[in-house]
Structure 1
Amino acid sequence: MIKNVIFIFVSLLLISCGKDPAPKPYGELRLEYPTPKYQKFESNCGYSFEYSNFALITNAKKPCWYYMNYPKMKAKVFVTYYPIQNDFADHIREAEKMVYEHTVKASSIDTKSFEYPEKKVYGNFYELKGQSASNLQFYVTDSTKHFVTAYLYFNTRPKPDSLAPAIDYIKNDMKHMLDTFEWKK
């Protein structure tokens, strides 16, 4: 029995001898997305904009509601349209409520107002930092007839560091969308 214990001990010593462990270099995930080429989206609901060919637009639950899908990023921009019928202030309150509901998880909310008076396009763009469910949101209106909102959602748990490249890409797309947004006459 002692011979077996000594044999096992010596075997373990011989097996465990080898190269000294070396630390592995720290690697970062590198995500690269294609340079966007923009195409025009014409809605039957009174507006148009340009969006990236990296996204696919599909119909959502209601008429004039759309999903701008980014399948490779597992992301969606949910676009809604509401006609204004003496309820402009209610639409503004609802859009801001959707943003500020995320204050529980968001570490900060950057708000940028924009206006293109020549096109009658006005609104706010919100960037939510931290672990919020929606990182980018905006509303756009002509303040008399039309009100459009958009919210970015990922089909994953909010991980701001991992999602940062995708958020930046979609943020640029959403800003381009606003820059090219027009109401139909």
Structure 2
Amino acid sequence: MFKNIYFVCFILILSSCGKDPLPKPSGELRLEYPAHKYQSFNSDCAYSFDYSTFAEMQNAKQSCWFYINYPKMKAKIFLTYFPIHNDFALHVKEAEKLVYEHTIKASSIDTKSFSYPEKKVYGNFYELQGPTASNVQFYVTDSTKHFVTANLYFNSRPKPDSLAPAVEYIKKDMLHLIDTFKWK
């Protein structure tokens, strides 16, 4: 009888041996952001718009160039301004060049044109999918005097799955910026 018990225990011990346990992969935090609220940006520049209260405006090196900084997300929107002097096509070409430089890493680039004739605000909005350095870009123009570009960058390695909630949050802010954009 004891032989049977020892035999069963021996079989159970042998059958319990299997693969070595593997550590769990490190998980990403689930980040939640505040509700979208906006404030007006007015300066001596040729434009104004609303931007998120979750962000901070910072001056860049050039006149009328700004950073919309999201410090808790480690993200920045780079806003650049160019006056148009019979070089409108060149500015559009440069803006599109910045977008299409990411085709090496982008799995897709979704382009949407927008037009607000009553405000003389026209442009393109680009959403880049995949492990790209910039996930969202746009340009805004009145097509005669002013041209503004905006590019979203994160201060981290591009991980589309991990960055997706932050990209979606800031994308809504960028769309609101376009909706409220005005030339002076």
Task: Name the TM tier (shorter chain).
Answer: 0.7 to 0.9
Once the two structures are superposed, residues 68-91 of structure 1 have per-residue CA deviations (whole angstroms, 9 ceiling, x without a partner) of: 000000000000000000000000
**Whole-angstrom distance in 1 between the partners of 2:115 and 2:156:** 33
Once the two structures are superposed, residues 147-171 of structure 1 have per-residue CA deviations (whole angstroms, 9 ceiling, x without a partner) of: 0000000001101000001000000
Between stretches 41-50 and 130-139, larger displacement belongs to 41-50
**Whole-angstrom distance in 2 between the partners of 1:102 and 1:93:** 15
Q: Within 5 A, what are the aligned runs for 1:1-185? A: 29-184=29-184
**Whole-angstrom distance in 2 between the partners of 1:155 and 1:173:** 18
Question: Aligned to 2:174, what secondary structure does the other structure show?
Answer: helix
Q: CA RMSD in A?
A: 1.8
Per the normalisation by structure 2, the TM-score is: 0.85
**Whole-angstrom distance in 2 between the partners of 1:60 and 1:31:** 28
The alpha carbon displacement at 1:61 in A equals 1.4
Per the normalisation by structure 1, the TM-score is: 0.85
Contact 2:28 2:162 in 1 (8 A): no
**Whole-angstrom distance in 2 between the partners of 1:92 and 1:116:** 18
**Whole-angstrom distance in 1 between the partners of 2:64 and 2:52:** 19
Q: Which runs of 4+ in 1 moved over 6 A?
A: none
- Structure 1's unaligned 5+ residue stretches are 1-20
**Whole-angstrom distance in 2 between the partners of 1:93 and 1:43:** 27
Q: Give the aligned partner of residue 4 of structure 1.
A: none
**Whole-angstrom distance in 2 between the partners of 1:99 and 1:57:** 23
The one-letter code matched in structure 1 to 2:116 is Y
The alpha carbon displacement at 1:29 in A equals 2.9
The alpha carbon displacement at 1:44 in A equals 1.4
- Structure 2's unaligned 5+ residue stretches are 1-20
The alpha carbon displacement at 1:27 in A equals 6.5
